[in-house]
Each structure stands twice: as structure tokens, then as C-alpha cells.
């Protein structure tokens, strides 16, 4: 099997995680790290004995690369990913693929035209608990997703693209219906123009209601998902790493109310979902695995997230007019 030469663009927290995985994978050579910070480049060179570069152009001129992970800030995703794809490099770009739908569509079209793999880093798709939801959920009528963090590490996008998009991607994957209405509110609490707290409610054409709450200024971390069906309610707690706890509540008898339930708990060991994600990316390059989530899925999640952002930051008069039209 041909060894793939891989680069990591952006050597922050996620970039370091990507580099650690690539360095440990068989049939893969981590050959380059790109970061504008001299300090980070020195750290990468010392840790991985790898060539480092201040920008993608310099790297591409110096060393051949088969694939790259883009873990740069979101505002750089489009430019960096386009440059790599144009150089015939397969790309895994951390979510969101770009800051706008128009940019994301251009990248998707470019990758398809060149026959290259463009994979978006929706890591939750590689949680075994999320796969379990796909197997057990058939007709949800209410979903409640909460993703709260005290960490405001990412500052060039708001909390919807930073955190909520994870749950948007999960929910759109388990509700097979078009969206009927969208409502969102939130708060900008820092010095930037981006929202730090957001709450959204999505109603689907089949009647399912999905509620999302995301915050990066919470006192404690919480990552939970509650999915209610007529015959069962599932509560997923992603916050017990390296495990995910899935609790299933069912009525004890025919026609029993939800006050009389039995509960079963499944504890899923999440065996390094980032490694699973990167292994899948490399397998797709070798044409030995179908995609887990397509570019169309990525665009669908990004379109809803950007629709929420646009509505959140729209003038109040415009929002009121939209709600009047929906009424």
C-alpha cells in the first residue's frame, strides 16, 4: 500500500491533535506542518521532526503532498482549501467548510471537478453513539440539544458555527423531513460582533420540533441530546469522555404515561473518534470506503446554520416581517 504524504495546516489545538494521529497511523507520513507562528512551527519541528512552513504556497513549492488537514481559523478555510485543491491535494477541513454557503459551494464544485476528496471535519459523525441513534431512531417528535462550554477559544465565528453546527448536523441526519420554520435568538457578550449564546427552534414539515441551545460563556460544560418518540425517549450525554452515555426510557406498559417508565443505560466507549475520522478520510483517498456524510450533507448543515445567523443578526423590523409572513 502506497504511503500517503500528509500535511497539517494550522498547529493550534485541533491541528496538534490531527498531527498526533497522522504521526501514529501506518502507511501515512506526516511530512509538513504549516502555521504563521514561528513558535508553533518550532514546536511542531521538535515534536514530530517534520518540515515546517509559514504558508501553504511555500510548502507546496518545497515538498509533494497527497493530503492535508486544514485546522486553521474558519476565516481562512476557503482560501487555504482552495489553494490545496487547486494543487491537486485531497483535503479534510475542520467544520465549517467555509464561513459562507457560497464559498462552500465553490469548494465542493472544485473538488468534484478535479476528482479530489473534500471531507468536512464533522467529528460527531464518528461517535459510535451517533451511529447508534441512526439505528434506533425512526420518528422523533421532539429533540432538545444542548452544547455549552466555558471555553471561548474560537473567536472568528459565533457560537452557531463554533458549537451548534455539531448538533444541527446530527439532527438533520435523523429527521427525514424538510424544514418548515426557523426561529432563533441570542446574545453578543464579548467585544466581537459574533454571538456567544444562541437558542434556536426548528420545526420540520413532519411536525418534529428541534430545540438547540449553545453557549461558549457557560460556567460548566454540557453536551446532551434528548430525542423523544412515541415509544421511547433517548438521552445522550457526550460529556463523559472517553465514554458516551445513552439512556433509553420506555413506558412500562401499553398506554402508560411517561411518569411510569423503565430505563436502560448503555455506556459506549468512544475509541478516538478523530482517529476514526482521519482513517476514513485516508480510506476515501484510496477509494476503499464510501463517504460517511456527503458534501450535500455538509452544505445542508451549513445552510441552516448560516440561516440562523442571518436571522439572529437581522434588524428587528425585518425579523418581525418574516414572522408575520410565516403566520
Write the pLDDT tens digit of every residue in 298-315. 999 999 999 999 999 887
**CATH class, range 4-121:** alpha beta
- The pLDDT mean for the chain works out to 92
Cis peptide before 242 (omega within 30 of 0): yes
DSSP state of 220: S
Write the pLDDT tens digit of every residue in 161-207. 999 999 999 999 999 899 999 999 999 997 778 999 999 999 999 99
**CATH class, range 125-273+306-316:** alpha beta
Write the pLDDT tens digit of every residue in 14-46. 999 999 999 999 999 999 999 999 999 999 999
What is the per-residue pLDDT for 327? 44
Band of pLDDT at residue 325, cut at 50, 70 and 90? very low
Band of pLDDT at residue 324, cut at 50, 70 and 90? very low
* DSSP bridge pairs for 119: 92
User: Is 172 within 8 Å of 300 (Cβ atoms)?
Assistant: yes
What is the per-residue pLDDT for 255? 56
**What dihedral angle (degrees, nearest 10) is formed by the CA atoms of 100, 98, 157, 317?**
10
Band of pLDDT at residue 240, cut at 50, 70 and 90? confident
Distance (Å, rounded) from C-alpha 91 to C-alpha 168? Answer: 23
**Which part of the chain is CATH 3.40.50.720?**
4-121
Write the pLDDT tens digit of every residue in 248-296. 999 876 554 555 778 899 899 888 999 999 999 999 999 999 999 889 9
User: Is 181 within 8 Å of 203 (Cβ atoms)?
Assistant: yes
Distance (Å, rounded) from C-alpha 215 to C-alpha 233? Answer: 25
Write the pLDDT tens digit of every residue in 63-82. 999 999 999 999 999 999 99
**Which part of the chain is CATH 3.30.360.10?**
125-273+306-316
Q: Is the pLDDT reported for residue 154 higher than 80?
A: no
What is the per-residue pLDDT for 79? 97
What is the per-residue pLDDT for 196? 95
Percentage of the residues of the chain whose pLDDT score is greater than 90: 82
pTM of the full predicted structure? 0.89
Q: What is the mean pLDDT of residues 52-67?
A: 97
Q: Is the pLDDT reported for residue 320 higher than 60?
A: no
Joined together, the cell numbers standing for residue 326 give 410565516
Amino acid at each position: 500500500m502506497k504511503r500517503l504524504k500528509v500535511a497539517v495546516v494550522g498547529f493550534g489545538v485541533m491541528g496538534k491533535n490531527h498531527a498526533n494521529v497522522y504521526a501514529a497511523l501506518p502507511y501515512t507520513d506526516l511530512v509538513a506542518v504549516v502555521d504563521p507562528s514561528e513558535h508553533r512551527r518550532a514546536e511542531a519541528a521538535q515534536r514530530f521532526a517534520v518540515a515546517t512552513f509559514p504558508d501553504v504556497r511555500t510548502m507546496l513549492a518545497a515538498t509533494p503532498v497527497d493530503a492535508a488537514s486544514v485546522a486553521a481559523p474558519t476565516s481562512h478555510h476557503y482560501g487555504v482549501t482552495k489553494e490545496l485543491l487547486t494543487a491537486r491535494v485531497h483535503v479534510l477541513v475542520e467544520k465549517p467548510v467555509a464561513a459562507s454557503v457560497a464559498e462552500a459551494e465553490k469548494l465542493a464544485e472544485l473538488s468534484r471537478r478535479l476528482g479530489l476528496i473534500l471531507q468536512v471535519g464533522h467529528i460527531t459523525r464518528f461517535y459510535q453513539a451517533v451511529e447508534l441513534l441512526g439505528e434506533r431512531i425512526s420518528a422523533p417528535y421532539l429533540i432538545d440539544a444542548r452544547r455549552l462550554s466555558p471555553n471561548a477559544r474560537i473567536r472568528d465565528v459565533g457560537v452557531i458555527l463554533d458549537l451548534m453546527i455539531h448538533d444541527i448536523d446530527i439532527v438533520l441526519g435523523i429527521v427525514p423531513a424538510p424544514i418548515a420554520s426557523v426561529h432563533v435568538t441570542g446574545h453578543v457578550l464579548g467585544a466581537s460582533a459574533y454571538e456567544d449564546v444562541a437558542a434556536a427552534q426548528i420545526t420540520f414539515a413532519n411536525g418534529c420540533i428541534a430545540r438547540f441551545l449553545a453557549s461558549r460563556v457557560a460556567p460548566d460544560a454540557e453536551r446532551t441530546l434528548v430525542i423523544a418518540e412515541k415509544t421511547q425517549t433517548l438521552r445522550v450525554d457526550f460529556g463523559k469522555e472517553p465514554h458516551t452515555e445513552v439512556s433509553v426510557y420506555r413506558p412500562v406498559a401499553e398506554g402508560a404515561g411517561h411518569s411510569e417508565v423503565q430505563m436502560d443505560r448503555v455506556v459506549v466507549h468512544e475509541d478516538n473518534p478523530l482517529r476514526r475520522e482521519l482513517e476514513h478520510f485516508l480510506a476515501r483517498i484510496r477509494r476503499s470506503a464510501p463517504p460517511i456524510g456527503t458534501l450535500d450533507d455538509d452544505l445542508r448543515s451549513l445552510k441552516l446554520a448560516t440561516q440562523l445567523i442571518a436571522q439572529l443578526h437581522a434588524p428587528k423590523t425585518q425579523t418581525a416581517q418574516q414572522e408575520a409572513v410565516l403566520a
